């Protein structure tokens, strides 16, 4: 039996921030210009009473209902988020109770963003391989909008909120293969919310340090450097060649970066996925959402070999190959 992805579902908040809204807020930026730079038309953003656990709950309930999954069968919950409901307690524990998952299930949060889904697959596979768990609910959920200054167009035009829920277990067809994972913490300050933890508690007043900061050029240079190398590494680790891959799904960072990466890596357009028009960059959830959309569009099918790459905040990256 293989360890693989059995099902994925995602949830997006109802509130929408459109290019029309942004063009009105930023004179000189047209809807067309925003789309050409980002590949995005609409972003879903959480409302004031909506938090990571709410989005995660909705994604998990959708997974359970659409795939006839019983909460009692889940024996581990892993939540990846960088905007948890609380720093204490762990949001995964709140979800275990809210989703009526047995108290015998393990649950924890992991703080990781753009590469989170790849790391999540690695952790889930390891837990199953070591007989710690059999059916793992992997959730990625993010509300970056709560960190964003609405006047900062470099980030407000890119990021959207959302959650995805993935069931990982043993099965006959789908498979999670070997990984290439990496970290460069020297770039931590290139994508950061300075006052988001104990180190900078602040005065209680909202300051610039409460907002998300992104050094776009540095993130771009980092990505262009590490992604091609990670692809080469993960192919070697799996004893596969470029031609063995049926489809490529990268972290949906922004349209410009993805198109540049596709060309740099010599990936044919028909094997490469870009669709963030109505989601924006949902950070940890972009890859599972992209997999759902790619299947819906008929671009991937059962048994396809797919190369996944996540990259960004940390700085961190990860690649793996799955059989769908």
2-174 with 177-323: one CATH topology? yes
Domain boundaries, the chain: 2-174, 177-323
What are the phi and psi torsion angles at 53 (to 5°)?
A: -65, -30
Determine the Cα–Cα distance for residues 140 and 117; give it in Å rounded to an integer: 7
Record the tokens describing residue 278, joined without a space: 């109505």
Q: Is 251 a catalytic residue?
A: yes
CA dihedral 85, 164, 194, 214 (to 10 degrees): -160
Q: Which residues of 19-43 are buried (b: 16+ CB within 10 A; e: fewer)?
A: beebbeeeeebeeeebeebbbbbbb
For 55-104, the pLDDT digits (tens) are 999 999 999 999 999 999 999 999 999 999 998 899 999 999 999 999 99
- Would you say 259 and 266 are in contact if contact means Cβ atoms under 8 Å apart? no
Q: Name the catalytic one among 19, 42, 44, 251.
A: 251
pLDDT in tens, 288-319: 999 999 999 999 999 999 999 999 988 999 99
CATH of span 177-323: 3.40.47.10
CATH architecture of the region 2-174: 3-Layer(aba) Sandwich (3.40)
pLDDT score for 197: 67
Tell me which DSSP letter residue 183 carries. E
- Residue 281 known to be catalytic: yes
Flag whether pLDDT at 248 surpasses 50: yes
Rounded Cα distance, 288 and 11, in Å: 11
Read off the DSSP letter of residue 324.
Answer: -
From the candidates 114, 238, 254, 265, give the one annotated as an active-site residue: 114
SS3 167: strand
Q: Is 111 labeled as catalytic in the residue annotation?
A: no
């Amino acid at each position: 039996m293989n360890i693989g992805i059995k099902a994925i579902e995602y949830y997006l908040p109802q509130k929408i921030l459109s290019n029309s809204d942004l063009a009105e807020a930023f004179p000189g930026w047209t809807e067309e210009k925003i789309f050409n730079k980002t590949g995005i038309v609409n972003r879903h953003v959480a409302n004031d009473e909506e938090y990571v656990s709410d989005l995660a709950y909705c994604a998990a309930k959708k997974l359970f209902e659409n795939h006839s999954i019983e909460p009692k069968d889940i024996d581990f919950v892993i939540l990846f988020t960088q905007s948890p409901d609380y720093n204490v307690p762990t949001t995964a524990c709140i979800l275990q109770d809210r989703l009526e998952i047995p108290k015998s299930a393990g649950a924890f949060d992991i703080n990781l963003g753009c590469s989170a889904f790849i790391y999540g697959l690695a952790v889930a596979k390891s837990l199953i391989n070591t007989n710690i768990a059999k059916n793992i609910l992997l959730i990625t959920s993010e509300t970056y909008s709560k960190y964003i200054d609405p006047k900062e167009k470099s980030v407000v035009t890119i990021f959207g909120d959302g959650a995805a829920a993935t069931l990982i277990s043993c099965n006959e067809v789908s498979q999670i293969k070997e990984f290439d994972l990496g970290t460069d913490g020297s770039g931590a300050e290139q994508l950061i919310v300075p006052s988001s933890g104990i180190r900078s508690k602040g005065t209680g007043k909202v300051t610039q340090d409460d907002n998300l900061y992104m050094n776009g050029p540095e993130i771009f240079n980092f990505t262009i450097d590490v992604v091609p190398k990670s692809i080469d590494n993960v192919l070697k680790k799996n004893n596969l060649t470029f031609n063995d891959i049926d489809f490529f799904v990268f972290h949906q960072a922004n349209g410009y970066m993805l198109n540049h990466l596709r060309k740099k890596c010599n990936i044919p357009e028909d094997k490469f996925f870009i669709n963030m028009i109505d989601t924006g960059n949902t950070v940890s959830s972009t890859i599972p959402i992209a997999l759902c959309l790619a299947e819906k569009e008929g671009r991937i099918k059962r048994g396809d070999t797919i190369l996944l790459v996540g990259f960004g905040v940390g700085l961190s990256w990860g690649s793996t190959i799955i059989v769908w």
